Amino acid sequence: MSTLNWIYLGIVSAGIILAVLRMIIGPDITNRVIGLDVLTTITIALFVFFALIFQRYIYIDVSLVYGLLAFIGVLVIARFIERGF
Amino acid sequence: MIRKITYTIFLSIIVATLILFFVAFPFGKNKMGVGKYYLNNDIKQTGAANVVTAVTLDYRGLDTLGEVTVLFAAAAGVSILFYLIDQDKKKRERQVYPNFIVRVGSRIIFPFILLFGSYIFIHGHLTPGGGFQGGSIIASGFLLLYLAYPGERVNRKKLAVTEGLAGLTFVVFGAIGIFTGAHSFLFNFFPKGTLNMLFSAGILPILYIAIGFKVGSEFAGIIDDMMCQTVCGGEK
Amino acid sequence: MNMSLMVLLLTPFTGGILSYLGGKIHRSVRYTFAILFSSLTLVELFFYYNKPVNHFVLGKMFGSVMILQINPISWLFAFIVTTISLLAIIFSVNDMEGRGGLDFYYFELMVVEGAMLGITLAGDLLTFFLFWEIMSWTSYLLIIQGGNKSIKAGYKYIIMSIIGANSMLIAIAMIYGKIHTLVFRNVAMLLAASPHGFDIAIFVLFAIGFFVEAAVMPLHTWVSDAYSEAPSSVSSVLSGVLEKIGAYGLFVLLYALFGVSLLGKLMPLRFPSPTIMYTIGWFAGISIVVSTFLAILQEDAKKLLAYSSISQIGYVVLGISIGTSLGVAGGLFHALNHAIFKSLLFFTIGAVIYRTGTRNLSELGGLIKKMPVTFTGTLFGIIALAGVPPLNGFVSKWMIYEALLQKKEVFLLILALIGSTGSFLYVYRLIHSTFLGQLPEKFKDVKEVPFLMQIPIWLLSLGTIVFGIWPGLAMNVIARGEKFFGITPIKYNLYGFPGGNGMGSLKMINISSVFIAGLIVAYIIFALGAKTHRISQYDNYAAGQVVTKDTKYNYSYGFYMFFGRVVNPVFKWSADKIYLAWARSANVFGDYMRRIYTGNLETYSSYIVVIISLVGFLILLGGKIW
Amino acid sequence: MEKASKFNRYVFTVIVLYVSWILITATTRTDELIVGIIVSLLVAIGTYDYLSIQGLRHLSLKRLWFLVIYIPYYLWQVILANFDMAYRVLAPSMPIKPGFVIVHTDLKTDSGKLALANSITLTPGTLTMDVKDDKLLVHWIYVKDRTIEGATHEICGRFEGFLKVIFG
Amino acid sequence: MRIFFGYFLLYFGAAFLFLGAFGLIRLPDLYTRMQASTKSTTLGAFSSVLGVGILMPHWFVKCLVVAFFILLTAPVSSSALMRAGYKTGVPFDKKRTVVNKGKEFFSEKKEKEEGK
Amino acid sequence: MIFYVGAFILIAVGLYAIIIKKNLVKIIIGLDLISSGTNLLIVSIGYVKGGTAPIFSHPGILPQMMVDPVPQALTLTAIVIGASELALAAAFVAILYKHYGTLDIRKVRGLKW
Amino acid sequence: MVNLTNPILLIAVPLFFVFLAAVIAPFSKRATKYLPPVAFLINLIITLYLIPQVAEKGVIVATTAGIKPPFAINIAVDGLGLSLAIIASLLGLIASLYNLKYITEEPQDKFNMLFLLLGTGITWMVITGDMFNLFVAFEVTSISAFGLVGFLRDKDSIEAGFKYLVMGSIGASLLLIGVVMLYAATGTLNMADIAEKIARFSFRQKLLPYSFIFTGLGIEGALFPLNAWLPDAHPAAPSSVSSILSGIMTTAAIYAIIRATVTVFNYSAITPFILLIALLTLVFGETSAFFQKDIKRMLAYSTIGQTGFFFFAFSLGSVQGMQGAFMQILNHSLSKAMLFLIAGAMITQVHSRNIDDFSGIGKKMKISSVFFAIGAFSLMGLPPFFGFWSKLTIIFATLAYTNFYTITLVVILLFMSVIEGAYFFRVMQSMFFGKLKEGTEIKEASPGLVVPFVILGIVILTLAIYPTPIIAVSKKIAVQLIHRAVYINAVLGGL
Ligand code: NA
Ligand code: NA
């Protein structure tokens, strides 16, 4: 059981690393932001997964809140990219 | 360049010092002092399933009052700073054509965001949420609306009244405690109810709802000010 | 009755407040209150004449009692303070007429009087210092009444005063740190028992404060500007009283604090002869000579008097520092005398300025006919100042010379004599340029000053005579004062000193008689000569040119030019310039210092980082943090 | 499509919100249900104007039925799309031929167009960038047809039928 | 069985989460990267969350809410981002891109906007 | 421990940004980094190995299993305060930009000494 | 029994009025300006009510949430805290009365709310008994101050406000880090509880958290070299705000440092170091003030100098030093607040902040100028004003042991007081005796501005006439402060 969880975590972490890599290398802000976008989606899934392994139902709410705020955040950033600051 | 190196060295010294300090209190090691008391007495004293909420609103309720006050002050400060621009109605008329998908999507998501925000602060004493999170979510809903409908503004008067009333609720409910037997501010004088039920934890849900409204309206106000700087044509 | 000492102290303050408020009603109310209350102060003071020492405990501060007391010496100085203040107030009524802010001026004048009275009545250092500070800033406010230039002068004065007061404060705090009380008696006990370095430090610190106020060189630089720029009545208060307060402070320091009752016998034992007392004496001597020279060179009548004050106060300090009974008595007596004749001179010159509007000696002249009373007053003043018998200045100077002779201080004596000779030069200049010689056309219609302004002139002239002919009047107080401080007073009688004990005798009544007889003879000769034909000043013939009325043949400008050519290079290197240079370099330094406030956010935040990392570095040096 | 009456839309909003409340709280405890109706009623006051134009018409049985069928179909398309994507990403040759094309839609309502756009985004090889009137700008990772008609057929054909019913 | 299916969904999701991120690195330009990331990560998160819901039946409803939330929001943010990138002129892979009707699309719009 | 170090580095980078960076936006990002780092530090302080969130959401959970609730409450407060500061800072930067037409702090030097 | 004088009302009442202002602002912006005076007046009355209680018990402790400390945040008011609360309420009252006439710019409603919050935050800082709560109160204060500094929205205000904000935020974060360190070390946030638990730590162990807290508070407390923002920020605000900022806000931060040093850390070993900082603060503040042409900037630098002065007295660590520090705090608060209010009133007439333009206005604005002189004299420590006694106390405390070191200190102190005299006398001279600029029409400011500072002036004059009781009280306060066990027992006594 726990091995399975670790493997899952490993795969997802690899994804996180790649996303962060894109955030770092850019080359422009839009590219960085899609890295961020991917990161947030992965994080939502991860939160739910943590709810599973820690057996805490309430973490799902956390993921929902996080997802919502991240979503709006990306929209705001997109707007700022498009129209300038 | 020398500056950069110098300050890197300085900052490294600070980091090193901090690390050396916290070596004495390693990560994961239990450092609880009063925290233990809260965990042990929370159910009896506050009836809130979420101990963080009990700490936030009850044991350290005065912090929370301060915190909403800080937010209030920041909102007032922001609206002071943007005051002149606010008056500049001509510029505000310039609209941006928003992305269709964003516009329609935001419109549809908005009611759910409000609902969800309310859910979060209503369940603040049961789940990790609370007034701040709920309030911020509601405010983010307003932000979304700005993205969808630049140029439209929320009703600032209603927001102001909301934040004022919410603040008054907090202060008045807190002050009632002074006049009860406990002579204590923020004394939880309501029945504690059953653990994990919606109607439990005495005045804490009420406070959290007040905070939710307050934080929501304050953030919405800040967003309104900022967006009218940028969206409504504050640019040069 | 103990309470009355407080009443005495409060009288001038009350008068100040009342005259301030009264002035809002009518100016006559203001004058009435001012004159009434300062007279009242004088009257009250006379209740303490020859009265035993009085203690009145004001209260406790920092665990030390604050005391009011009066002894003969304080009485003497209080007498100087109240008299001169009263006269200045009377003189001001006309002199200051027409200026703005008179209510405030009178308030100030009386507050200064009260503060100085407070200083003389103080029985402990705290009270002393309290009133000292009040006196400093209120007299500053008086000085700057004189208009634009006086502001600069006042600024110099207040800065030096603050420095002086602060230096005293250090001494007071050092004393307090040792014994937690500041009553003179206890302080004297402490100083008697304390190690050598400590008392010298205390002494020097106090002396700086007193030197500033007494205008002893090299801390005199505020005087010439302040006196000349301030209103005349203020100048007379400053010169007549303020400097004496400095001298009083010095006296208190030497004889009350240091408790040197042994001073009367020989040279002070606490300080081996060539040290402190001797040094002060030399300061005073140099002060006498240098400021005499400076006075000679002045074109400005009030500046001339100002420098003269520095020189005369040098005699006072010199006398006090000699340390013998005769010297101390001479110094104290000279303080009284100087107050009288210098105030007199400031009043008369003030009267001249009042009528002519200028104090530039080269513009004045020939006023003798126009202002006879003023002229007479000036004549008395300069005779007294020059130390010519039979007026008061002669007596005290004689005492000081005698004391110096006794101590065989030949060099100091020479300095004192040079000062005396020099003073002939400048007083002659003063009276000649003002009253004798050619009357400028523009002053044709000048009249004598109003009666109210003549009163102080009359009274002070009388004073120069009275204390000249009957020195015993003053010696009565001084001798009791000396006794009070443990000095055996010299023998004296109403008309002078019987002499003996290695001291020459002085009988002022004889000298005066001779003088008066001489004067009568001279008058008769003069009266006979007056029968000759008096010609107009313009009725003459100069090198084939007809002199018209607008020709100025009385060249009083550059009167002592020849002398100036000799002396000037020496005085180029003046103390004032050194202070200015210090101030300038401090200015530059401070200007650099404040540049740490660069206005750059990154610099500001870097300060934070640097500070914390320095702390961190120190901690890291120590190894383990926890 | 004319607007439904205010009350109509309000009731629709309340219903939708209440259902969502029950889903979010995931419980049928009485206290939650009571609070839920209150919250829905309150939130709907401020939001009914945003949520829908057609109001209760959305809740016709036919529309709901099509919705129920559409969802699994859509999910299946999503899965297909992802395998397609996986192939393109992982294949060493990287078989892509991207381009920006315009497609045309017959849908009239905003919500319908949004649903179409979202569906296009999550399905094979396409991503909607913007919608303007009856045209959609789509980024296509493997352009098969550059014309509007051809692209429309390729991209929208799968969904429009369903969406026309569901969103009117 | 339920556990197997749950873990299957979890791993299925994880695989696509990774794939999305991998596409993000491998693909040549912003637009193709977004194709990959949007689709793959959305499905990945969706199935991952559903997997948890199946493993914990009590939580299923809540997980469903999260899953549909992802499904609803992901395309919106992607299209906003892509439009932003396009409008600010983020370069696309010129070699591979075969057609670009964006200019046409947006210029039309601009006329319309000004006409208003 | 890594969390601690991360927190300290965030703080240090924030300070570095404020000192070195010339762009006003970067400076306020620096501010945010400092407060984020501080928040991370606070949360890390409260973590107890093997502990769970301090919520009595179902009967099996006992106080002994929980992490310290205090730092979490503190963080909540600190986050909101940090956000307030950030909002105000952003507003200041916007107005500065309006006055000076630039985001370069080297141009914003009207006041000194 | 209902206890109407619960000290927590000092926070609750003004907050009530702040939120009330928010409610009524949409209907009438002007009406909000009457709320701050009312709130400050109520606070003043409450503080006066508390005086006998504090005098009797030493420390009054008020719990929150009905839980005894250290388990819930508590308010602990001792003599020092109460005095500062009184000053804060008094200055708040006077400055808000001044605002009635003074503030004409919009948005007034926000201004009034922030102004009230500023006063509240300061009061909060001085009565809280909890370290983290101190941080929160600190933030309430500084965030309100940031907004108020930028209130005029001109170039200078915005620049100054931004600098202030960045510095203040860094300071707050440092304070917070320090508090967190304390929590990590002791597991509690209550000041008294920390004080008890920290006793087992060595000098070195306490050093790092202390230096963070000290630096964080020192930024707001205007200590060298962290005070560089101050001369920009204090003058940039409207004068009534400057008077609060300079009059009591920096003092509140210094209070917090004092509380931390004495009560919480019991850190007398640190005093030589902070003495140095205090001295540098004094020197740099006074020196820089000397060079200012802008009157408000000069007053702001003088605040730095004065802060250095009383912080210096505090760092002496002796009872008499603390007594002197307290006396000078009182003196400085009243005088500086009044000076700023007067400067504001003068600026409304002169329309300039340049000292040269103030030349000769003493003849036209008699009341203002005379009270300016009173404030300046008191600040400089000229008798018979109260500043004289505090200066004397501080000098006496410094020279309690005469040696080279203390004499050097005193010489520096006094040299700085000469500089202070130099610049104040320069200003006053120009005011009273300078030439009035031609063509300027200057008259006395309106009574709405004059009356408030005259009230303050009357307080100063009363202190001048009758200083003895305050001196006695300040000694009591100093003694109480040094005997930290009193505080700790009062807070934890119920255990
Ligand atoms: Na909460
Ligand atoms: Na909180």
pLDDT at E110 over 60: no
Mean pLDDT, rounded, for F56-83 = 85
How many domains does one find in chain F? Answer: 1
Q: Are B139 and B216 in contact (CB under 8 A)?
A: yes
pLDDT for the residue numbered G85: 94
| D124 φ, ψ (degrees, to nearest 5) | -50, 120
Q: How far is the CA of F44 from the centre of ligand 2 (A)?
A: 17
Q: Pick B215 or C551 by higher pLDDT.
A: B215
Chain segment C414-468, per-residue pLDDT in tens: 888 888 888 888 888 777 777 777 667 777 777 777 777 778 888 888 888 888 7
Q: Cα–chain-centroid distance for residue C26?
A: 33
Owner of token pair 């200064």: C112
Helix ranges, E1-116 (H): 2-26, 30-55, 60-87, 102-115
Q: Do B74 and G143 touch (CB under 8 A)?
A: yes
**Which residues constitute the domain of residue C539?**
517-560
Residue D146: inside a domain: yes
pLDDT at C192 over 80: no
How many domains does one find in chain D? Answer: 2
Beta bridge partners of C69: C55
Q: Cα–chain-centroid distance for residue C519?
A: 32
Mean pLDDT, rounded, for C36-48 = 84
Residues of A in contact with E102 (CB under 8 A): none
User: How many CB pairs (< 8 A) connect A and E?
Assistant: 147
Residue B155: inside a domain: yes
Same domain, C410 and C439: yes
Q: Are F35 and F82 in contact (CB under 8 A)?
A: yes
Report the distance separating Cα G213 and Cα G257, nearest Å. 8
Q: Do D85 and E27 touch (CB under 8 A)?
A: no
G21 to chain C, closest Cα gap in Å: 35
Q: Which of C559-573, D33-47, G96-110, G479-493 has the lowest mean pLDDT?
A: C559-573
B193–E contact, CB cutoff 8 A: no
pLDDT for the residue numbered G342: 93
Q: Which of G116, G105, G95, G91 is nearest to G30 (CA)?
A: G105
Give F 12-71 residues with CB within 8 A of chain G.
Answer: 15, 18, 24, 27-28, 31, 34-35, 38, 41-42, 45, 70-71
Give the chains touching G; criterion: ≥3 Cβ pairs < 8 Å. B, C, F
Q: Are C170 and G407 in contact (CB under 8 A)?
A: yes
Domain ranges of chain E: 2-115
Beta bridge partners of C154: none
Q: Which of C257, C10, C243, C249 is nearest to C128 (CA)?
A: C249
Chain segment E6-17, per-residue pLDDT in tens: 888 888 899 989
Q: Do A75 and B106 touch (CB under 8 A)?
A: yes
Same domain, D40 and D91: no
pLDDT at C542 over 60: no
Residue D45: inside a domain: yes
Q: Which of F76, B62, B39 is nearest to G129 (CA)?
A: B62
Report the distance separating Cα C190 and Cα C187, nearest Å. 5
pLDDT at C540 over 60: no
Report the distance separating Cα B170 and Cα B65, nearest Å. 8
pLDDT for the residue numbered C268: 42
Residue of chain C with shortest Cα separation from F21 = C602
Same domain, C333 and C456: yes
Q: Pick G336 or C542 by higher pLDDT.
A: G336
**Which residues constitute the domain of residue D34?**
6-50
Give B 64-93 residues with CB within 8 A of chain G.
Answer: 65-67, 69-70, 72-74, 76-81, 83-84
Same domain, C497 and C381: yes
Mean pLDDT, rounded, for C578-586 = 79
Listed in sequence order, the residues at least 6 apart from D166 whose beta carbon sits closer than 8 Å to its beta carbon are D63, D66, D67, D70, D112, D115
Q: Cα–chain-centroid distance for residue G450?
A: 22
B160–A contact, CB cutoff 8 A: no
Quick count: other Cβ atoms within 10 Å of Cβ E101? Answer: 18
Same domain, D26 and D71: no
Q: Pick C233 or C130 by higher pLDDT.
A: C130
Report the distance separating Cα G372 and Cα G374, nearest Å. 5
Looking at the CA of F76, which ligand is closest?
2
Residue F54: inside a domain: no
Same domain, D103 and D160: yes
Residue E52 one-letter amino acid? V
Distances (CA, A) of C298 to C228, C433, C437, C564, G391: 11, 12, 18, 10, 41
Give the chains touching F; criterion: ≥3 Cβ pairs < 8 Å. A, B, C, G
Q: Which of G153, G12, G127 is nearest to G73 (CA)?
A: G127
Residue F55: inside a domain: no
Looking at the CA of B56, which ligand is closest?
2
Q: Which of G177, F99, F12 is nearest to F20 (CA)?
A: F12
Least CB–CB distance from A72: residue in B99, B128, B143: B143
Ion ligand 1 contact residues with beta carbon within 5 A:
B 56, 130
Residue C423 one-letter amino acid? S
For chain A, the maximum distance between any two Cα atoms, rounded to a whole number of angstroms, is 49
Provide the Cα torsion B160, B163, B166, B167; round to 10°.
Answer: -110
Tokens coding G191 = 């000041």
Residues of E in contact with B105 (CB under 8 A): 72-73, 76
Residues of B in contact with A69 (CB under 8 A): 136-137, 140
pLDDT at E108 over 70: no
**pLDDT beneath 50: ranges in chain A:** none
Q: Do F15 and G170 touch (CB under 8 A)?
A: yes
Mean pLDDT, rounded, for E1-24 = 88
pLDDT for the residue numbered C104: 82
- As a whole number, the mean pLDDT across chain C is 77
**Which residues constitute the domain of residue B151?**
32-231
Q: Are E31 and D98 in contact (CB under 8 A)?
A: yes
Mean pLDDT, rounded, for C327-338 = 84
Residue C66: inside a domain: no
Distances (CA, A) of E109 to A78, B99, E75, G118, G129: 19, 12, 22, 51, 63
Residue B227: inside a domain: yes
Give the chains touching A; criterion: ≥3 Cβ pairs < 8 Å. B, E, F
Q: Are G272 and G279 in contact (CB under 8 A)?
A: no
Q: Are A45 and A70 in contact (CB under 8 A)?
A: no
Q: Do E79 and B101 touch (CB under 8 A)?
A: yes
D16–B contact, CB cutoff 8 A: yes
Q: Which of G117, G110, G122 is nearest to G83 (CA)?
A: G122
Q: Is the dihedral of CA C447, C449, C455, C461 positive or negative?
A: negative
- For β-strands D99-104 and C64-70, DSSP reports them as unpaired
Q: Do F4 and B19 touch (CB under 8 A)?
A: yes
Q: How far is the CA of F35 from the centre of ligand 2 (A)?
A: 15
Q: Do A52 and E44 touch (CB under 8 A)?
A: no
G282–B contact, CB cutoff 8 A: no
Report the distance separating Cα G171 and Cα C170, nearest Å. 37
pLDDT for the residue numbered B30: 78
pLDDT for the residue numbered G255: 93
Asked if F touches G (at least 3 Cβ pairs < 8 angstroms), the answer reads yes
pLDDT for the residue numbered C550: 52
Report the distance separating Cα C296 and Cα C430, nearest Å. 9
pLDDT for the residue numbered G67: 82
- For β-strands E99-100 and D99-104, DSSP reports them as parallel
Chain segment B103-154, per-residue pLDDT in tens: 888 888 889 888 988 888 888 777 777 788 888 888 888 888 887 777 677 7
Q: Are A59 and A51 in contact (CB under 8 A)?
A: yes
Same domain, C293 and C388: yes
DSSP readout, G181-230?
HHHHHHS--BHHHHHHHGGGS-HHHHHHHHHHHHHHHHHHTT-TTTTTTH
Q: Is F101 exposed, middle or buried (0-12, 13-18, 19+ CB in 10 A)?
A: exposed
Q: Pick B89 or G343 by higher pLDDT.
A: G343
pLDDT for the residue numbered C573: 56
Q: How far is the CA of G97 from the centre of ligand 1 (A)?
A: 38
Q: How far is the CA of D40 from the centre of ligand 1 (A)?
A: 23
Same domain, C525 and C494: no
Residue F18: inside a domain: yes
The three-state DSSP-derived secondary structure of C133-187 is HHHHHHHHHHHHHHCHHHHHHHHHHHHHHHHHHHHHHHHHHHHHHHHCCCEHHHH
Tokens coding F5 = 């170090």
DSSP readout, D29-81?
-HHHHHHHHHHHHHHHHHHHHHH-SSGGGGG-HHHHHHHHHHHHHHHHHHHHH
Confidence of residue B236 (pLDDT cuts 50, 70, 90): very low
D139–E contact, CB cutoff 8 A: yes
pLDDT for the residue numbered C357: 76
Least CB–CB distance from B101: residue in D32, D47, D114: D114
Same domain, C461 and C555: no
Distances (CA, A) of C529 to C48, C226, C379, C519, C539: 52, 44, 21, 15, 19
Q: Could you give the ipTM of this predicted complex?
A: 0.85
**pLDDT beneath 50: ranges in chain G:** 1-2, 495
